[in-house]
Chain A
Amino acid sequence: MKQPDIRSARLRRTFERCSNEGRSALVGYLTAGDPDIATSLELLQTLAGQVDILEIGMPFSDPMADGPVIQAASERALEAGTHIGDVFALTRRVRDAHPDLGIVLMGYANVPYAMGFDAFAEKAKACGADGVLMVDIPPEEGGICDDALAGQGLDRILLLSPTSPEERIRLVCENATGFIYYVSLTGITGADMGDMDDIRARVERIKSLGRLPVCVGFGIKTPEQAARVAAFADGVVVGSHFVSQIAHAANACEMRDCMSSSAEQMRRAVAAAT
């Protein structure tokens, strides 16, 4: 059996540091270029200052696995003229300002496929990303991208869900690197969370089968939920909740303030959880 590991030294150190501090990592998501490139940079920098790992979404015309909040973010970003080159440039700026931050590029297969996975992996590495999460490339289809990502030392983060049977949990544990993203409900991003005891049992089962950290996301909207998940997960992923600050705010200044305060609440909740 292939030994699972963390290719990125930065992601490894991030999980070690959090573990030493006796807490979960806080993972935040924003779509690059939302609502426009300049504001997006400010928002990404704001969130980067509060989280341990930042997931930077690559906007796509057909975000099939996302709910209305992140769909709208993708549409705003594309309407604002965000290209994949802008995603790399934004990532580079965030990396320069936050040398220890874990950064994961997240999105759908077709944008990297159109560029070619070798070129994509090279650019992702060059802009300072540590890992890549492509929602619609399960381990069975990994042949099209795995070597390119491994060649650049990028982690290939994979998902597991409540519908994943035992053999798929094993398959994902054997093929994922960096961390495993446990989708806590059988729905799309931004829907309501599933039953907490069930989530906990599943996360413990995944951890018993592999050696990778397990981060839990999809549906975490409040600091209380974040704290409950932080009690057993290695990382707590907050996505739609942060993205929704953009839609609700009246202007860039208000967006930044809302982002900062909601991220700080989440950070405190995760840090205080035991």
Chain B
Amino acid sequence: MMLAELLPLAPFIVLGALLGLDVVAFPQAMISRPIVAATAAGALAGNPLGGLTIGVALEFFALEAMPFGSSRYPEWGSAAVIGGVLFGRVEVGTAGAMTVAVLIALIAAGIGGTSVHLLRRLNAAVARRQQARIARGSGSAVTVVQLIGLTIDLIRAGLVTALILAIAIPLYDRALASFVLTPVISRAVVVGTASAVGLAAIWKVTQSTAGARWYLVSGLLVGFSIAWRVA
């Protein structure tokens, strides 16, 4: 993809950069959660409901990996924007649309998570370079370390969004054009997979709280009865 072809993607790249920054660095208001980020990307693509729909699927996966301190976790901000853009571009009911978009978003989340890990090592190098000035009590050195960290994180998330979108859009279109399975099967597989990961994540939450598993079982019974009635 040429640079000129990337220009129409600029709003999505900016969105991915801003929401990727929210994951760790600033302001951690959880605008980077898939249910928010994918909806925003879908809205930007003219399909907010499509964005929300894939955001819900990705949120099931995100329930599993919370941003605990120095642990390594997927970067959902830019990944969910990528998922929202891809799914928001196609017609409702296209076979494989959600399956392939979720797959690409999950891969993007993994790549984004690795880039956050590398950024943390870079931040340490920047802090080491400023260590002598900071030890002498330089307020500007403390500010410089902080601003460099924030700026590189913003650029990192923008680059992840841009590079993956540039590669993913043609791949996505080709995959959907040659997808031979029915929409029934493809949607059932991706929603089943997302639900399984989400259920396992909530089961893990219940392990640390006495009695919580009974609340989960009760909730599931209520949830299934509501879903059954709506069906």
Partners in one complex: no
A-binding residues in B (CB < 8 A): none
